Chains A and B, each alone.
Chain A
Amino acid sequence: MAESIKILTDKIGIEGIENFDVYRKNGGYKAVEKAIKKMSPDEVLDEVKKSGVRGRGGAGFPMGMKWGFLAKPEGVPRYLVCNADESEPGTFKDHYLMKSNPHLLIEGMIISSFTLGANTSFIYVRGELMYVIYILEKAIAEAKKAGFLGKNILGSGYDLQLVVQPGGGAYICGEETALLESLEGKRGNPRNKPPFPAVKGLYQCPTVVNNVESISTTPWIVLNGGESYSKIGLGRSTGTKLISASGHINNPGVYEIELGLPVEEFIYSDDYLGGIRPGHELKAVVAGGSSVPILPAALILKTADGNSRLMSYESLSEGGFQSGTMLGSGGFIAMDETTCIVRNTWNFARFYHHESCGQCSPCREGTGWMDKVLYRIEHGLGNERDIDLLVDVAKRIEGNTICPLGDAAAWPVASAIRHFRDEFEWHIKYPNEAIKYQAVYKGDMIKV
């Protein structure tokens, strides 16, 4: 392996690391001791601000700044909620991190809750990961027994109760206000903003919502200082990032990379993905989870200006929507030349149609239209006007909805047409060929 820095995954692989004793022997909970015994909440906040760490759930908003916005009215409880809903197609890093090293997240939750002044904090885990919930609950019980959770932590007078909450199988509950609704025992309908959670969140109290990976950086930042963290990575993309890699690559899995790594090295080096499966070549990449624009191989390796593309927030989005994409949640899906872009786009469109909560008509109706029209094209039933219709529907959704799911549904469709229009046209021009191609999938196994 290259001499790369590991902040989140350094302990993964140590035999028995999911047990408190082993984790503790390997330096675990030292950061909690340091934060609670030697630092004030404001001092911790300062380090997090200095680190420049950005939210790892998808939007990339600086974590220290978000924490700074938390309202602190007298006598009103504040909450920290960890977003472990992880449902963005292509993303499985939080799943991996929680099951492999549960105490890291618990440690991060204690530090973050202490900093924000929360006495009850929640980890909202997607319900399908019930076995991970049991792992976390066991870790919490161990930490409590050792005095790191519960009343009067390490004799400091600070109390913290940590609750793991299961979801029920709804992608939309990853959106932070839908998540809060769900945590209150309601349907996961996103809220209108403002008010923002920092002012009125869970139970109408000031609340911070952060991703698993974001919170898990705090132990390292406390131990090593925000400035050291900010020196890792590239420019405003500080630190390391977990990338979930799937698709036609030799080594799928979760990788911790230093931000700024060239995409080409990430894909082809044996330290990372090990290249495309034998006998095949890269056709396209969805770099940040299903919601971000798809890019053809040439544009993911190099920007339109011919610069080498890097794994960073800035480099991936270079070229805007015309020729760039986004880092998003780091769900890196690689596709070789056997992939039908139309089918893949239809698959994602069906996903968003299924997951739309239905509150706003552009999203509810628009995702349905895109699903239907793409189904039609993929199955040799498309007509010439369908491509423009799709572009039009996508445009009408974008920016016209309560939450960003609408945009997330529109971008994959718009970008697939932008970069692979000829494939859509081919399906429409040669319906019989398109139907023959369907034979690969042995007909309509999956109904709309």
Chain B
Amino acid sequence: MDDWISLLGSHLPEFFQGFKITIRITLVGLGIGAALGLPAAVLRVYGGKWIRTIALAYIELFRGTPILAQLFLVYYGLPDMGIILPRMGAAYLALGLNSGAYQAEYFRGAIQAIGGGQMMAARSIGMSRIKAIRHIILPQALRLVIPPWSNEPISLMKASAVVYLIAVPDLMTKGKQLIAQYYYSPIVVYLIVAVFYLVLVLSLTWILNRVRTRLEIPGLDVETR
């Protein structure tokens, strides 16, 4: 127990620095993921044959491979193509690409749950396909996607812990540094790291639940299920 207190007492600022980096890479990754995932889903459903295949390939490849392999590809592999990213940049991009594929599947599910009828009704009053997607399909899909999508911030945050392998100074890296520099017991350090993550996950869960109830439309669930 003394270990814990002295460790936390003298190194709390370091943990908090790592904590902030973890939150930041999660948020940026989530943003990049949404920017990639939403178009990927729309193209996957409404695109022509080739575009649909490309969207499908992106989604399946990134969902079907370990995030570690994706991280190594971005950080060590991209320089072979002349794209050299700093550690943080590589972390953002790898997490964003990975999350985009998962988010695309959430968006696709919601778009398909809206059904063809809404598209037909929109077309029947003279809307073009693009306008129908923008004004009729997406506004509904984006609300419908919230419950399944709200798992993504949490899974991405958990996945983000692997970025310590390219020495991004996140929570995990801070813990590793403390073990290496001061010979603290790894068990105690990792327990503290675990508690930080748990707090983050529980607060995220709480926030996302509030958002979910805030955005409900009267009767919408009844209509679409």
* Chain A complexes with chain B: no
List B residues at the A interface (Cβ < 8 Å). Answer: none
List A residues at the B interface (Cβ < 8 Å). Answer: none
